[in-house]
Amino acid sequence: MKKTILFSALIGLLFACNSKEEADKLFYNGKIYTVEEDQPMVEAVAIKDGVIIAIGPLSEVEKSIGVKTEKIDLAGKTMTPGLIESHAHLMGIGYNKLEIDLMYVKTYDELVEKVAEAAKNVEPGEWITGRGWHQDKWIEMPDRTVAGFQTHEALSKVTPDNPVYLAHASGHASFVNQKAMEMAGITTLGNEKPVRVIEGGEIILDEVGNPTGVLVERASGLVSSLVPKDTPERAEKALELALEELASKGITSFHDAGSGQEVIDLLEKFKREGRLTARMYVMLSSRLPDLLEEWYQRGPMIDSDHMVTVRSIKLNMDGALGPWGAWLLEDYEDKPGHKGHETMPINLVSQVAEKGLELGFQVNAHAIGDRTNREVLDRFEAAFAKFPEEKNHRFRIEHAQHLHPDDISRFGDLSVIAAIQAIHLSSDRPWAIGRLGAKRIKDGAYVWQKLLGSGAVLSNGTDAPVEPLDPIPSFYASVSRKTLKMTPEGGYEPDQKLTREQALKSYTLAGAFAEFEEDFKGSIKVGKAADFTVFDQNIMEIPENELLNVKVVMTVVGGNMVYQRE
């Protein structure tokens, strides 16, 4: 009997030794920020099978390691939870690398030169496409402008045999040449002039009624619908390039702000093949009503592997400020008689919000102008009243850029998430005051602290490829409220700056909350995913004017290194 008891005790001891959780990786010797209030910094992190199993002092965490544990010496670098891009356009990032990138052109002449160069390498009749131009960011405008935009003559001159479609940086306007307009029927035929207003958009005409080549909002579809559809091979290449860009910029999770079934299918293909290097949260595009109907029947797709989740719907309710498309309560300061416009019937918000609450879909509405924000909040509030039992809806307003002061508190009151892109302030604020005037800017533009004060959650991002994907400039904009040229001194409306802790949380834990994943990721905590971003400098401590020099040196997703800077 005694032998049996002794044998059982030995077996139990052996099992206990063998069942000890042994880390496969140890991260140490760096500045490790957890975004957890009770333990904001730790010396070391141990992970196993893509999950954090120990954090704390190195002497304690080392108890979790064994002879096979890979030890990763951070050499004084800074590690944070993996960054979460909460509003951008995945395939747009990839296609931007396959087409003409106009993000950094400084003049109209430079835009024409880039297109002329591209025209040398295509066959007659082949489409030339690009994206990224923004007339308010040019250092000089061409001699001839209409309604604040360039006109097509110089572009058409260098591309007589090729249709050209160039998307505005905001995605809310386009610029096309004569050939493209002829193909779309946007031409002057005898005494007949093109119709200026298209439902949800506008064709910009000159003083005698001829088209200028600039198409605003849904008018762009007259030409974009003619651009040949992509091949599967090209789409796959675009996704590869986008994922490489995400990894190199420290992005471990990505909220794709409006896609169709073909993108979802491609993401699932990449997941099956082990090629998906970032976690994806896909918003269904409301521009595809048949798609929404299909998903209403199907219901949300919540991935147990946390790699491809589809449980939200993106509404596109107004335009951007640059093309005077944001929908305002009062006239534009620099365009009297014009308030912008809705880009989809505003009642669509009510329809989709009620359907979302009924079926378990989060609803995320693009709203830039103060009127759009108010109209969306009104309809969200009415929908919540119809479904009072749905407390955890986490509906979002994407951008929430320009608000009437009376509506700011409603974000917190209604538990509506403000999905901001701080980098837009750096890019737009110098000229946005011309659109809105000083009072509207001061009272309700980019009011991040006021939104936080209302109790709202702020998630952060870039809206790439509207802006570069790099989170460092957006982090800098969050805490400085300056342009990327580091002006003005003290920043614009400095009382609305985020602290560095708030900015980091907006890019990590708040982003996770905005996709219902805060229990799985967004902070460095035992039991959460081993998603990390490592920087070459301490973004939480270095002088503000050095932030723009920071580089990502390592990106870890589920314990796997998907990027390491040489």
Above 70 in pLDDT, residue 384?
Answer: yes
Query: Binning pLDDT at 50, 70 and 90, where does residue 147 land?
Result: confident
Asked whether 400 and 443 are in contact (CB, 8 A), the reply is: no
Q: Which residue has the higher pLDDT, 208 or 50?
A: 50
The residues facing 396 across adjacent strands are 364, 417
Q: Which residue has the higher pLDDT, 266 or 190?
A: 266
Buried b (16+ CB within 10 A) or exposed e, 534-554: bbbbbbbeeeeeebbebebbb
pLDDT for position 229: 82
315-338 pLDDT, tens per residue? Answer: 999 999 988 999 999 999 999 999
pLDDT above 90 coverage of the chain, percent: 84
Continuous segment of H or E residues that includes residue 289: helix 289-298
**Calpha distance 76→67 (Å, rounded):** 24
Q: Which two tokens stand for residue 90?
A: 């995945």
219-261 pLDDT, tens per residue? Answer: 999 999 999 888 899 999 999 999 999 999 999 999 999 999 9
Tell me, rounded to whole angstroms, the distance of Cα 349 from its chain centroid: 21
Above 90 in pLDDT, residue 190?
Answer: no
Query: Amino acid identity of 372?
Result: T
Q: Taking residues 304-309, what's their average pLDDT?
A: 98
DSSP one-letter string for 320-347 = -TTTT-S--SS-BTTBTT----BSS-TH
Mean pLDDT score across all residues of the chain: 93
pLDDT for position 188: 61
Buried b (16+ CB within 10 A) or exposed e, 418-446: bbbbbbbbbbbbbebbebbeeebbbbbbb
Angle between helices 471-480 and 423-436 (to 10 degrees): 60
1-43 pLDDT, tens per residue? Answer: 444 444 434 433 333 333 468 999 999 999 999 999 999 999 9
Q: Taking residues 403-417, what's their average pLDDT?
A: 98
Above 90 in pLDDT, residue 314?
Answer: yes
Q: Taking residues 159-171, what's their average pLDDT?
A: 92
pTM of the model: 0.85
**Calpha distance 317→369 (Å, rounded):** 10
Length reported for the chain: 566
SS3 percent helix, strand, coil of the chain, rounded to 5, is 35, 25, 40
192-211 pLDDT, tens per residue? Answer: 666 676 777 889 999 888 99
pLDDT for position 192: 64
Q: Taking residues 108-133, what's their average pLDDT?
A: 92
Other residues' Cβ atoms within 10 Å of the Cβ of residue 223: 24
Report for 100-104, 121-125, 544-548: range of highest mean pLDDT: 544-548
Asked whether 414 and 363 are in contact (CB, 8 A), the reply is: no
Query: Binning pLDDT at 50, 70 and 90, where does residue 191 land?
Result: low
CA nearest to 523, candidates 55, 1, 16: 55
Q: Which two tokens stand for residue 190?
A: 């005898």
pLDDT for position 1: 43
**Calpha distance 156→177 (Å, rounded):** 5
Asked whether 253 and 81 are in contact (CB, 8 A), the reply is: no
**Calpha distance 218→325 (Å, rounded):** 11
Above 90 in pLDDT, residue 458?
Answer: yes
DSSP one-letter code for 189: B
pLDDT above 70 coverage of the chain, percent: 95
Query: Which contacts (CB < 8 Å, 24+ apart) does range 289-298 have?
Result: 291/260, 291/261, 292/352, 292/355, 294/261, 295/361, 296/355, 296/359
87-119 pLDDT, tens per residue? Answer: 999 999 999 888 898 988 999 999 999 999 999
- Which region among 136-150, 192-206, 213-227, 437-451 has the lowest average model confidence (pLDDT)? 192-206
Sheet holding 201-205, edge to edge: 100-101, 128-133, 164-168, 173-176, 211-217, 201-205, 197-198
pLDDT for position 20: 62
**Calpha distance 368→328 (Å, rounded):** 9
pLDDT for position 361: 98
